[in-house]
Structure 1
Amino acid sequence: MMKPAIEIINLGKQYKLTNSAPYIALRDVISESARNIFSGKKKKQDSFWALRDVNLSIEPGERVGIIGRNGAGKSTLLKIISRITPPTTGEAFIRGRVGSLLEVGTGFHPELSGRENIYLNGSILGLKRAEITKQLEAIIDFSGVEKFIDTPLKHYSSGMQLRLAFSVAAHLEPEILLIDEVLAVGDMEFQKKCLGKMEEVSKKDGRTILFVSHNLDTIKKFCSSAILLGNGTTLYKGNTDKSITKYLTDHLQTIAEKNWDDTLYSYNKELKLTKASLHNETGVILSRFDTTQKIGISFEYQVLAGRPSFTRGINVFNQENVHIFSSHDVVSEFSNQENKVGVYRATVWIPGNLLPEGFFSISLALFNPSPHEILIHEFEALRFEVFTDYLKFSARGNFTENLPGFIRPLLVWEVSSN
C-alpha cells in the first residue's frame, strides 16, 4: 500500500513574543544585571501557538487547498512542510522532493543572475547540473524573462521574480509542490498560466500540490479537497465545497437564506416577513458572487389586513458597516396601490460590475414613504461575499493591485484621436 506523500502527526509550532527594546544606556544594563544576580528570577516570556495538534494525511497526486482567516496558521504549515522552520511538537513526514513558492525571492540570491539562480534552486532540490540544463530552456520560456535572464536578480521587479520562481518550481519536477498566496503578485494572465501549469503537472505527472489562497473560487476550481484551519488547528478536511461552505458560514458568517416562520410582524400586526434569500439569475441560492454576476435578493411577506400602499426597500452595507446605497420599489405594479390580503414575493437585482470585492450585508424594509412610517426593518438579514473571477472580464481589467472604492461600476469610456 502506498504511503501518504505528506503525513503530519500532532504537529505544533510555538513562537516567542518579544517586544522591541527602547534605548538602553550602559548604566541600565549594569543595574539590570545586578538585579538579576540578586533576585535569581528570569522574566517570563510570552508565547503563542501558531499551530497546535494538527493531524493530516495527504495522498500522492492530491490537489489540496488550504483556507482560513489571516493568522490561522496556513503559511506556518507550509514552512514546516518545506523544512524552512522546524515544528515545536509532533512530526511531519514528507515523502518526495519538495518545491515551494512561499514568498517572492525565497530561495533566490539577489546578486546572482536569473540563470544562476535556476541552477542554485535545482541544486537545492538535489538535481544534477545535467538535469537542470535539460529543463533550462522550458523554464526561461515559461517565465517570460528571457531578456533579463543574465541580469542580477536584484534588478528584477517582484512580478519578474515571481515568474521565474514559479517556473523553476513547476519545471524542476518536485514530487510535492507548495504554493502560497504569492501568486496574487502576478498579473491575471500569468495567474491563469500558473494554474494551468499546476493542473497539468498534477494530472500528467501525479504531483502532490498544496495551495494556499484567499481566492475561494480558485480553490474550488483547482483543488479536489481542502483543509480549513482556524486558530492554528484543523477544523475540517475533506470535500472542497463543504470546506468553503463551512468557512463562509462559521467564520465569515455569510447568510444566503433566512426563515422567520411566525416571529417577524409589523408593529400593528398587519404585515409579516416570512423568508428571504440571495440567488443568481437561475434561482440557485448562493452566498458568494463574482463581481460580474447579478445578485438577486428575494423576500416573501404576508399582508394580514388590507391597507393603503406601502413599499419595499433594501439597504446595502459593506464589511466596515458603511452604508453603500439603498433601493426602494418605485417601479413595480404594487409600488403605488393598495396591497390586498395575501402572500407576496419581492425581488430586486443588484447589477453585475457594481460592487467590489468584499463582504456585504442586506437590511430589508417594508415602510410607508409618505408620511414616513417604518412597518418592518430587519437589519443584516442576509450576508454575502463578492470576489473577482480572474477568468472573466470585469471593471478591474488587468489591474491586480488594491483597487479602492465603495463601488466599482463598469463605465463606458469614449476616446477619440484628432
Structure 2
Amino acid sequence: MSNIVIEAVGLGKQYRIGATPRGQRNFREVIANAATAPLRNFRRLRSIADPARMGGDPLVWALRDLSFTLREGEVLGIIGRNGAGKSTLLKILTRVTEPTTGYADVWGRVGSLLEVGTGFHPELTGRDNVYLNGAILGMDRPYIRSRFEEIVEFAGIGAFIDTPVKRYSSGMYVRLAFAVAAHLEPEILIVDEVLAVGDAEFQQRCLAKMDDVAHGGRTVLFVSHNLPSVQRLCPRSIMLHGGRILADGPSTDVINRYLAGGAREAHPGHWIDLDEVARTGSGLARFQGIRYSSGSTRHQLQPFTRGRLELGLTAVSNVSRDVNLSVSIWNQSGTKLINADTTALGRAVALRQGTNTFRLTIERLYLKPGAYVVGLWLGDRMGETLDRIESAFRFEVVDPHPERPTVRLDSRYDGPVACRFDVAEV
C-alpha cells in the first residue's frame, strides 16, 4: 500500500468577520497604533467585564472538524458550492494560513496554484520568479535552468518573461504560475479553481498536464467547479458543505450527490417555491418560483424525448430593470447540456418593480430518458449576477414510446443528447 502524503485530522478554521489582518506597517502607522492603544485596551477591558457590551465582530467557521488522508499517487477532486471551505482547506495544506483546531501533515514538496496574486513577488520579473519558486521547492539552479525553456513555452509569455509580474494580466500570471507549479516536478500538486481565469485552450493544456503528473505517480489535489473535468481527472472526490465533508468516494457518486443535493424532485404542472434554495448573487432581483410541463397530457405533462418543455418562472425585483435570464439543464454527471440564455436572442427581459411572471419554451427536447437538474441565472445588462441557483429542481425525461423505445438506453452506445438521423446506401 502506498504511503500517506497528506493527513488532515479535525481541521477547523475560524475567522472573525470584519477583522482587519495585521500586515506590515510603516512608521506612521506604528505611531498611530501606539497612540490609540490605550483607548482600544480600555474598550476591550470593558467588554470583558460586561459581556453585554461585547457586541464584537461575529465569528464564522470556514472549516469544522474535517479529516481525510491522501496517499501517494492519488488524484483527489474537491467540489462544493461557493463558501463551502475549499480554498481555505488548500491554504491550510500549503501553509498559507494556520488552522484554528486540528492539524494537517504534508510529506513531500508541494507545488501549488491558489488565487491570483499568491506565490510570485510582484516586483520581480517572470524569470526571477521562476528561479525563486524553484529554490523554494528545493531545486538547484542548474535543474531549474534545464526546465526553464519548457516552462516559458508552456506559459506562452516568452516576450514578457523579463517584465515584472505586477504588469502581467491575470491570464498571463496564471499561465506562468501553473507552468512553474507543474514543471518543477513537485511531489504534490495542488490546484485551485484559479484555472478558470485562463482561456479554454490553456485550460485543456493544464488538464492534460495534470493528467501527465498523475500518471507519473505524483499526487494531485484539484479544486474546481468544472464537474466534467473533475470526473475525468479524479477517480476520488470529496464534497464540502458548510466547512464539513459531506461525501467522500468515487467521483461519479460524489458528483451525483452534489448535483442532487440542492435539487428537489418536482411534479410537472406544480409550482416549486424557490425562496429557501441555495443561491448566490446580489439579490437585487431573484427567482421566486418555477414549474415545468411538456404541455401535453400524453404523459401526464411529463417531459419526453423530442417533446416540448415549458417552464413558468416568477421573479421579484426591487426596482424596474432590464435583465438577462438563462435556464440550464445538466445531466447527473455534471455536464451542462442546454443553456437557454436570452443573451443569445439578442434581447433583454424587462422586470417591473415587484413580482414578474415569464414563460420559457424549448420546442424540442433532444434528451434521452433519465434524470436532469435545472439551474437558473438572472443578471443585469453589465453581466453582474443578481441571482444564481445551481440546482433549482430535478425532473425526469421519459421515453415517448416505452413499448417500442426510440432511444437506445445502453450507455455503451448513448451520448447524453438524442438526435434525429437516418442512414442510406449511396
TM-score category of the 2 structures, normalised to the smaller one? 0.5 to 0.7
**Equivalent-residue separation in structure 2 for 1:206 and 1:176 (angstroms):** 10
Q: Identify the residue that residue 308 of structure 1 maps to in structure 2.
A: none
The secondary structure found in structure 2 opposite 1:5 is strand
Structure 1 residues 62-77: aligned runs within 5 Å: 62-77=74-89
**Equivalent-residue separation in structure 1 for 2:143 and 2:101 (angstroms):** 36
Q: Identify the residue that residue 259 of structure 2 maps to in structure 1.
A: 248
Q: Does 1:129 align with 2:129?
A: no
What is the aligned counterpart of 1:117 among 118, 129, 133? 129
Q: 1:257 to 1:246 in 2, by over 3 A?
A: farther
Q: Does 1:95 align with 2:107?
A: yes
Q: Does 1:41 align with 2:49?
A: yes
Structure 1 residues 191-230: aligned runs within 5 Å: 191-203=203-215, 205-230=216-241
Q: 1:89 to 1:257 in 2, by over 3 A?
A: same
What is the aligned counterpart of 1:106 among 110, 114, 118? 118
CA-based RMSD of the aligned residues comes to 3.8
**Equivalent-residue separation in structure 1 for 2:73 and 2:304 (angstroms):** 36
Q: Does 1:13 align with 2:13?
A: yes
Give 1 or 2 for the bigger CA radius of gyration: 1
Q: 1:89 to 1:382 in 2, by over 3 A?
A: closer
Q: Identify the residue that residue 311 of structure 1 maps to in structure 2.
A: none
Q: Identify the residue that residue 300 of structure 1 maps to in structure 2.
A: none
Residue 294 of structure 1 deviates from its aligned partner by 9.6
Q: 1:54 to 1:38 in 2, by over 3 A?
A: closer
- The TM-score normalised by the length of structure 1 is 0.62
Amino acid at match of 1:166: F
The secondary structure found in structure 1 opposite 2:143 is helix
Give 5+ residue unaligned stretches, structure 2: 21-31, 271-296, 308-329, 341-354, 368-372, 378-391, 397-426
- The TM-score normalised by the length of structure 2 is 0.61
**Equivalent-residue separation in structure 1 for 2:305 and 2:5 (angstroms):** 40
Corresponding pairs, count: 300
Q: Identify the residue that residue 172 of structure 1 maps to in structure 2.
A: 184
Contact 1:248/1:254, CA 8 A, preserved across alignment: no
Q: 1:255 to 1:245 in 2, by over 3 A?
A: farther
Residue 27 of structure 1 deviates from its aligned partner by 12
User: CA-to-partner distance for each residue in 1:365-405, whole Å, 9 max, x for gaps?
Assistant: xxxxxxxxxxxxxxx87459xxxxxxxxxxxxxxxxxxxxx
Residue 169 of structure 1 deviates from its aligned partner by 0.3
**Equivalent-residue separation in structure 1 for 2:164 and 2:40 (angstroms):** 47
Amino acid at match of 1:41: A
Q: 1:79 to 1:39 in 2, by over 3 A?
A: closer
Query: Sequence identity of aligned pairs in percent?
Result: 45
Q: 1:9 to 1:257 in 2, by over 3 A?
A: farther
Q: 1:106 to 1:40 in 2, by over 3 A?
A: closer
User: CA-to-partner distance for each residue in 1:21-56, whole Å, 9 max, x for gaps?
Assistant: xxx9x9998777656667862736431111111110
Q: Identify the residue that residue 233 of structure 1 maps to in structure 2.
A: 244
Structure 1 residues 77-88: aligned runs within 5 Å: 77-88=89-100
Displaced runs of 4 or more, over 6 A: 26-32, 256-260, 278-281
Structure 1 residues 26-37: aligned runs within 5 Å: none
Q: 1:148 to 1:17 in 2, by over 3 A?
A: same
Contact 1:135/1:172, CA 8 A, preserved across alignment: yes
Amino acid at match of 1:85: T
Q: 1:122 to 1:254 in 2, by over 3 A?
A: farther
Q: Does 1:349 align with 2:369?
A: no
**Equivalent-residue separation in structure 2 for 1:94 and 1:33 (angstroms):** 39
Q: 1:245 to 1:39 in 2, by over 3 A?
A: closer
Residue 85 of structure 1 deviates from its aligned partner by 0.7
Residue 159 of structure 1 deviates from its aligned partner by 0.5
User: CA-to-partner distance for each residue in 1:272-329, whole Å, 9 max, x for gaps?
Assistant: 9758467799xxx94567556599xxxxxxxxxxxxxxxxxxxxxxxxx986644499
